[in-house]
Amino acid sequence: MRELRVAKSAGFCFGVSRSVKMAEEMLAAEANCYSLGELIHNDDVVQHLRSEGLTVADGPEQIPQGASVIIRSHGVSRAEFEAVQRTGATVYDATCPKVKRIHEIVAEASAEGRQPVIIGAADHPEVRAICGWCASPIVVNDAAQLAERIADGTIDCAKPLTVVIQTTQTQEKLLECQKIIKKECTNVKIFDTICNATQVRQTEASQIAAESDFMVVIGDRHSSNTGKLFDICKRQCENTVLIETAAELDLNKVSDAETIGVTAGASTPARIIKEVLDTMSEVKSGETNLEPSFE
Ligand code: F3S
């Protein structure tokens, strides 16, 4: 019998859900509403909020005096945060509390004269924002780059180090980096700042992918956690695809597969997941066990 398995953890995480709710509350209560950068990495949600009256500003200089401003779930740098406050804006801070905690860790490290080292993607908004809460941060993408930075002296292991990791990175990467750091450096504090919601999602996705012959990951291509889910699933199931909407689904693959797995990134709305599941159900003509748990 053909089977469709949907990850229970698919869809909005706590931080994304909180930020969208805050944006909706702001739009209902205030006029002249801005977000500093796109609120979350999902085009569909951002377009919806724009249609409700939200203007996306690229920087604090685009925010007029006295506006209402929501800070994105990925957070912003201290300089940007203070620049927004200087405009006299009513600030809705939707920075995910788990990201906020990283800001506090690196700020404290800086104040204590420790060298902040951030494991993550240097060009991701979350990592750029973290860098903006401490002095002279060093960002490394993975264990190989970490080893390089130690070897070329960019990271001075004689200095006290504080290490954090982008919330959406994998435990595997953290363990690889930990091994190198513990071998080379003596005075080091390592904080596991990977988000629990991310871990749960990744573990479940990996299990489902391992038991599927076609795996579908739904989410925005700009979303870091969606990209990680895709990589993890691909390792377990060669036949894994990443789609943003139901329209991108290859229906031939759906009808050929015996066991299909589905998961979705933390910024993927339930509505899009449902559209994908409905499309699959139609192709499978009711042959599936379709019990999404997020509705
Ligand atoms: Fe926050 Fe974790 Fe979501 S860091 S935004 S709850 S993936």
Please give the number of the atom of ligand 1 that sits closest to the Cα of 196.
2
Residue from 98, 193, 194 whose mutation best tests the ligand 1 pocket (most atoms within 8 A of CB): 98
The pLDDT of residue 285: 55
**List of the chain residues with pLDDT < 50:** 1, 286-295
Determine whether 140 is exposed, middle or buried from the number of CB atoms within 10 Å of its CB (0-12, 13-18, 19+): buried
Residue from 13, 102, 229 whose mutation best tests the ligand 1 pocket (most atoms within 8 A of CB): 13
126 is catalytic: yes
b/e burial code for range 166-197 (CB count within 10 A of at least 16 → b): bbbbbeebbebbbeebeeebeebebeebbbeb
CA of 13 to the centre of ligand 1 (A): 6
The pLDDT of residue 255: 86
Is the separation of the CB atoms in 43 and 65 below 8 Å? Answer: no
The pLDDT of residue 224: 86
Give the residues surrounding ligand 1 with Cβ less than 6 Å away: 13-16, 73, 96, 98-99, 167, 195, 197-198, 225, 266
Stated pTM of the model: 0.85
The pLDDT of residue 284: 62
The pLDDT of residue 254: 87
Catalytic option among 38, 80, 126, 204:
126
CA distances from 121 to 39, 72, 177, 263 (A): 19, 18, 14, 23
CA of 16 to the centre of ligand 1 (A): 7
Compute the distance between CA of residue 118 and CA of residue 141 in angstroms, rounded to an integer.
Answer: 8
Going by alpha carbons, the residue nearest to atom 1 of ligand 1 is: 15
Q: Check the CA dihedral 243-71-20-33 and report its sign.
A: negative
The pLDDT of residue 282: 80
The pLDDT of residue 191: 98
The pLDDT of residue 295: 29
